[in-house]
Amino acid sequence: MQQYLPMFQLLESMYCAIEELYYPFPDSYHSKFAVLGFHVLPRQCAAPCPHFVSLNRSHSVYIQYVERGVFRMTEAVIEHIVVQVLGEATTEADQHFKWLLLSRVRSRVRLFSPLFLLFSRMH
């Protein structure tokens, strides 16, 4: 989905500038940035790297942005990605990405939120 690339690059530049200036982010900035990143950044893990196996890190660029706090995973973002876009993921790679994403944000989901049902179905 390369039509989203220019907008993602703009938001990424804004992110760097705003972070450096310690300025507050505009409303809904993080949601838009995370959704655009989902459409632009590689989600598939690259070939395993022997140097990172012991660290148990994924090689998905999108997941790395999530782990480092660049993308703030709100319930709206998770719902958009997991339910609307991936839905019932059919490929093994999509299932793996969905599991990686949900496992990174599991501790942030409230017990009775609608997304709690997604986690309960995973086991």
pLDDT above 70 coverage of the chain, percent: 71
Q: What is the pLDDT of residues 81-107, one digit of tens each?
A: 887 777 766 788 888 888 888 887 766
pLDDT of residue 11: 97
Secondary structure element (H or E) that encloses residue 107, with its range: none
Number of domains in the chain: 1
Say if residue 110's pLDDT is above 70: no
In the predicted model, what is the mean pLDDT of the chain? 79
Indicate the pTM of the whole model.
0.75
The string over 3-39, giving b where at least 16 C-beta atoms fall within 10 Å of a residue's C-beta and e elsewhere, is: eeeeebeebbeebeeeeeeeeeeeeeebbebbbbbbb
Q: Which domain holds residue 30?
A: 2-121
